[in-house]
Structures are given as structure tokens and as C-alpha cells.
Amino acid sequence: MENGFWSKRRWLARLSPSFLIIGAWLLWIAYQGTKNHTLGQGRIILCYVAAFCAISLFLWGTRERHRMD
């Protein structure tokens, strides 16, 4: 049941590219908000934290995808 339908390993491996895209998008939104002063400081920090979490999930999913059984 390690690689069953509901396993964490399978879903992290499958969704890891999506986490990278979401993380890059959040970094871009935060950068543009800082540059144009369109977002408040709290929202910019929240975008950076969410981007860090998404990129961390990408790295974790990539590790699970390439891990030897």
C-alpha cells in the first residue's frame, strides 16, 4: 500500500511540477507588488511565505519521484 492511490508519495510526485509553477507565480506576484506598490506589506510577506511552501513541496515531490524503492 506504499504506492497506493491515496499515498503521499504518489501525489507529491505527481503534483510537484504544479507546485513549482504556483511557487514561481507567487514569487512574481510578490515581486510586482513590491515594485509597483500595489500590494500591502502583509500580503507581500504572505506571498513570499506561500511561495516558499510551494517550492518546498516541489522539492519534496521531486525527491519522492526519484527515490529508489
CA 22, 45, 33 angle in degrees (round to 5)? Answer: 75
Confidence of residue 69 (pLDDT cuts 50, 70, 90): low
pLDDT of residue 21: 97
Q: Report the percentage of the chain scoring pLDDT > 70.
A: 94
What pTM was estimated for this model as a whole?
A: 0.84
Q: How many Cβ atoms from other residues are within 10 Å of residue 17's Cβ?
A: 13
Confidence of residue 48 (pLDDT cuts 50, 70, 90): very high
Q: What does the block give as the cell for 43?
A: 500580503
- Cell 499515498: give the residue: 7
Better-scored residue on pLDDT, 2 or 61: 61
Distance CA 47, CA 22 (A): 11
pLDDT of residue 8: 77
